[in-house]
């Protein structure tokens, strides 16, 4: 279905680590952006570990038309 997003789960402990590493006064948008970015990176790392990625050479071939 178009428009449905897969829910990403992040453990509360990881969220607490991110918050603890931030300054005492935090911009909420910056916090949300940080959590979102980390979530996407963790998802990508899991996909690569599960063999769902593509090789560097395949990526270069796919991007070649756009880079000319």
Sign for the CA dihedral angle at 40, 41, 47, 50 comes to: negative
Whether pTM exceeds 0.85: no
CA distances from 66 to 15, 61, 63 (A): 37, 10, 5
Query: Taking 60 as the threshold, does the pLDDT of residue 3 lie above it?
Result: no
Model pLDDT for residues 6-65, shown as the tens digit of each residue: 677 888 999 999 999 999 999 999 999 999 999 999 988 999 999 998 889 999 999 999
């Amino acid at each position: 279905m178009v428009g449905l997003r897969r829910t990403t789960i992040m453990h509360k402990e990881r969220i607490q680590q991110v918050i603890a590493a931030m300054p005492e006064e935090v911009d909420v948008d910056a916090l949300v952006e940080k959590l979102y970015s980390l979530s996407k990176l963790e998802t990508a790392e899991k996909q690569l570990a599960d063999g769902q990625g593509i090789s560097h050479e395949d990526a270069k071939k796919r991007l070649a038309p756009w880079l000319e």
